[in-house]
Amino acid sequence: HYSFFPGKPRWPSNKRTLTYAFLPENQLTDNVKAVFGQAFSRWSMVTQLNFTQSESYRTADIRIAFVTGDHGDGEPFDGVLGTLAHAFSPPSGFFHLDGEENWVIEGMNTPLTTMSAVDLESVAVHEIGHLLGLGHSSVEESIMFPTISSGTRKVELVSDDIEGIQELY
Ligand code: TQI
Ligand code: ZN
Ligand code: ZN
């Protein structure tokens, strides 16, 4: 079953359009940005929320950054595998991904030697759930289940995720 953060924080009900922006220094390709767009659209399809990309990192509601090691928020990353990414509860909007992971996107030919490959969209859909106020779920098929088998791609919301997010928005 789905859960929320303590106090059930959520984005204000008068704010149905949330902006997101990428840390300019990361110089992400359009392909990578499109993966995040796709991940946002999975949540907007089942809520009244809309997500639009902003060119202004500092003023966006949701700030997406690939960072490594200790990056100043008390939750350092740990290199390959271990912690992959983290996101804070509303209305923080910080979404950090470990720049040392071997991120892969669908359709890219990943060498079979990349045992540590992590599917970017799977992690993005999960972290956006946290950014919107969902905690972890006990339902194994849920996008918000706290573990994922390595090399797995899990991007589809299931009824547990949808019921959880619709209780907030
Ligand atoms: N990052 C953890 C996560 O997002 C960070 C975390 C631990 C956390 N406890 C939390 C965040 C409580 C919010 C509330 O769950 S992670 C997965 C999964 C991670 C793990 O790097 O371990 C995914 C990130 F579910 F696959 F294990 C994304 Cl999809
Ligand atoms: Zn961080
Ligand atoms: Zn999580």
List the structure tokens of 111. 């060498």
Which residue type is seen at 64?
I
Domain boundaries, position 136: 17-168
Ligand 1 centroid to residue 59 C-alpha, Å: 25
Strand bridging mode 102-104 / 85-87 = unpaired
Residue 10 belongs to a domain = no
Question: pLDDT tier at 121 (50, 70, 90 boundaries)?
Answer: very high
- CATH number, domain with residue 164: 3.40.390.10
Partnered with residue 166 across adjacent β-strands are none
Residue 82 belongs to a domain = yes
Ligand 1 centroid to residue 98 C-alpha, Å: 12
Question: pLDDT tier at 112 (50, 70, 90 boundaries)?
Answer: very low
- Asked whether the whole model's pTM tops 0.90, one would answer yes
Give the number of other Cβ atoms within 10 Å of residue 79's Cβ: 13
ipTM (interface predicted TM): 0.96
Give the number of other Cβ atoms within 10 Å of residue 12's Cβ: 8
Residue 84 belongs to a domain = yes
